[in-house]
Amino acid sequence: MQKMTDFDYMRLALELANQAEQVGEVPVGAVVVKDGEIVGRGFNATISGHDPSAHAEIVALRDAAKHLGNYRLVGCELFVTLEPCVMCVGAMFHARIARVVYGARDPKTGAAGSVLNLFTTAQLNHHARIEGGVLADECGAMLSSFFARRREAQRNSNNTLPAGESVRQHGNAA
């Protein structure tokens, strides 16, 4: 059997991101790998789970911890389609993830270099190796098209009035 590459693992994370999108979640997916074996999988479930912490990375970390029977995931790598946020990086550090690989940068909440870089903060007691940009174009395109469709749907819903109501009733009259 041929050894899987970072690109292979990121493609699996993209498949999970697609599953997230299919259920109405922001399309982010993640896998946790130990010694070449996938031990955890996750995709965003914040909306469906009514859980602000249910980011793809957290879901994958929880799955891996259950699979391995330990909250410490020493020697594990995490692959995620979007640069992790502060919450997710904190969870990775607590889990002792050895290496994090992400796809697209997140210019709004990225904590691996885009907004700030927790991976280089010397005061923290654990650090992981970080690599960004793996399949960045594919990861970014999935997110961009998702948000473009969502904005278009929002515009269309704002232009549609309930039956029997006028523009004036909604305060949009010129």
CA distance 112 to 83: 6
The angle that helices 6-22 and 136-158 make with each other, rounded to 10 degrees, is 10
CA distance 166 to 105: 43
CA distance 95 to 61: 8
Active-site choice (57, 83, 131, 138): 57
Tell me whether residue 138 is one of the annotated catalytic residues. no
CA distance 113 to 130: 10
CA distance 57 to 78: 8
Angle, alpha carbons 131-136-139 (nearest 5°): 120
Residues noted as catalytic: 57
